[in-house]
C-alpha cells in the first residue's frame, strides 16, 4: 500500500525563529561593538538585486509618530555567505545606523571616510572589490573581515554559543537543523528572563541577552 503523504509541520514558527535570531545578533553586536549606543531598528528580509543588504534611515513610522531606521538583509544570499559573513553584512549596516545618529553620513548611499574609519576600528576592512587593495570609499561598497579584530572576536563568541540563522533560500543546508523544542535533542528554545527575547540553539549552548547582559534561560 502506498505510504500516506506527510502533512505540514504545524510546530514550525519560521517568522519568530528568524527574527528572534536577527534581534539577538543585533543586540549582541550593539553591546560588543557599539557600547549599547545604537537604537533598535526594524530588520527586514528583502530580495533586492544582488546585494546582501542595505540601510534605510528613518524609514518607518508608528501610529503614535515614533520613527525607526531599517536594515534589510537579502535571504537569497544567506547560504552563500554563511553565518559569519552574513553577520558582517549586518554590522556593515549597523555602522551606517551609527553614522546616521552620531556622525555625518555621505550623500545618498555614499560610503564616506568616516564610515570607512569606523568599519576598520570594528575589524571590517572596506573594499569596493571585497578583497585587499579595493577602494575604501564609494557608492557600492563591500568589505572583508580583518583577522583578530573586534568583529571577528565578537562573532566567534556569538557562534561559539551555538548561534545560527535557521532559515535561508535554496536547498537544505549541509548541517541538519531539527525543529526547536526540548524533544528534538538538537535545538532548544532559550529566552531572556527580562525582555523575553528568544533564540534556538544546541541544548548545551550558553547564550546571553546582549541588551540586558543576562543569560538566556532554557525553556521547557
Half-sphere exposure of 105 (CA within 13 A, CB side): 18
Q: Is 1 helix (H, G, I), strand (E, B) or coil?
A: coil
> Which band of pLDDT confidence, cut at 50, 70 and 90, is reported for residue 213?
low
Per-residue pLDDT tens digits for 35-81: 999 999 999 999 877 789 999 999 999 999 999 999 999 999 998 99
- Give the C-alpha separation, 202 to 107, whole Å: 44
Give the SS3 label for residue 64.
Answer: coil
Handedness of CA 29, 30, 33, 38 (dihedral sign): positive
Rounded Cα distance between 29 and 35, Å, is 9
Of all helices (H) and strands (E), which one includes residue 189? strand 188-191
Model pTM greater than 0.95?
Answer: no
Q: Per residue in 34-46, pLDDT tens? A: 999 999 999 999 9
Amino acid at each position: 500500500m502506498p505510504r500516506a503523504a506527510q502533512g505540514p509541520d504545524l510546530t514550525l514558527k519560521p517568522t519568530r525563529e528568524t527574527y528572534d535570531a536577527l534581534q539577538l545578533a543585533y543586540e549582541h553586536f550593539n553591546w560588543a561593538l557599539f557600547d549599547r549606543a545604537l537604537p533598535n531598528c526594524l530588520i527586514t528580509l528583502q530580495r533586492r538585486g544582488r546585494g546582501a543588504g542595505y540601510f534605510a534611515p528613518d524609514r518607518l513610522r508608528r501610529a503614535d509618530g515614533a520613527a525607526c531606521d531599517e536594515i534589510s538583509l537579502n535571504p537569497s544570499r544567506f547560504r552563500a555567505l554563511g553565518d559569519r559573513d552574513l553577520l558582517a553584512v549586518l554590522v556593515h549596516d549597523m555602522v551606517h545606523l551609527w553614522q546616521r545618529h552620531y556622525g555625518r553620513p555621505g550623500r545618498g548611499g555614499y560610503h564616506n571616510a568616516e564610515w570607512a574609519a569606523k568599519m576598520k576600528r570594528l575589524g571590517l576592512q572596506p573594499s569596493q572589490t571585497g578583497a585587499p587593495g579595493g577602494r575604501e570609499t564609494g557608492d557600492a561598497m563591500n568589505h572583508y573581515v580583518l583577522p583578530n579584530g573586534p568583529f571577528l572576536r565578537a562573532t566567534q563568541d556569538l557562534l561559539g554559543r551555538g548561534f545560527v540563522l535557521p532559515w535561508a533560500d535554496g536547498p537544505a543546508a549541509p548541517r541538519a537543523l531539527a525543529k526547536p523544542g526540548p524533544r528534538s535533542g538538537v535545538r532548544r528554545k532559550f529566552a531572556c528572563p527580562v525582555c523575553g527575547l528568544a533564540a534556538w540553539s544546541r541544548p548545551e549552548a550558553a547564550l546571553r541577552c546582549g541588551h540586558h547582559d543576562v543569560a538566556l534561560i532554557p525553556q521547557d
